[in-house]
Amino acid sequence: MTLGEKLKKARINKNFTQEYLAEVLNVSQKTYSNFENDKSKPAFAQVEDIAKHLDVSVLDFLSNDGMSFNYDNTHGGNNGFIYQNQLPEKLVEQYEERIKELKEQVDYWKSKSEDSN
């Protein structure tokens, strides 16, 4: 089952509309629809928000979707996810863009801090 199919199934199980979840994520209904139709992938933070509002685990959405999870922490396991497949290029681009935005914000606040000194 794809991520989009899982999102749709979980949303329908809670009787939520796409419009509601789009509002929760602060995206358009069309953007959210694209998530469910696997035309685009949500950022990890968005998946976390969706999981929270639908009362499901993030792991439920991401397992069997190019990643596997290690739950065993009895021997110092990482309890994190391990990429089995390469991330889709579009998702990589989204992460790179977000990193760039965050770096710009850090630089801005650093300059503001230096100006006040």
- Encode pLDDT of 7-39 as tens digits: 999 999 889 999 999 998 999 999 999 999 999
Q: Which residue has the higher pLDDT, 61 or 4?
A: 4
Residues 80, 90: one domain? no
* Domain at 42, CATH number: 1.10.260.40
Greatest mean pLDDT among 14-28, 74-88, 90-104: 14-28
Residue 82: pLDDT over 70: no
Residues 70, 19: one domain? yes
H/E stretch holding 38? none
Residue 62: pLDDT over 80: no
Residues 47, 76: one domain? yes
pLDDT of residue 81: 43
Q: What is the mean pLDDT of the chain?
A: 79
Helix segments in 26-88, DSSP class H: 29-36, 44-54, 58-62
Q: Phi then psi for 42, rounded to 5 degrees?
A: -70, 155
Residues 94, 110: one domain? yes
Residues 16, 71: one domain? yes
Give the pTM.
0.54
Residues 67, 32: one domain? yes
Residues 95, 60: one domain? no
pLDDT of residue 84: 44
> Which structural domain range is residue 34 located in?
3-85
Residue 1 pLDDT class (50, 70, 90 cuts) = confident
Mean pLDDT on 87-104: 79
For residues 5 and 51, what is the distance between their CA atoms, to the nearest angstrom? 14
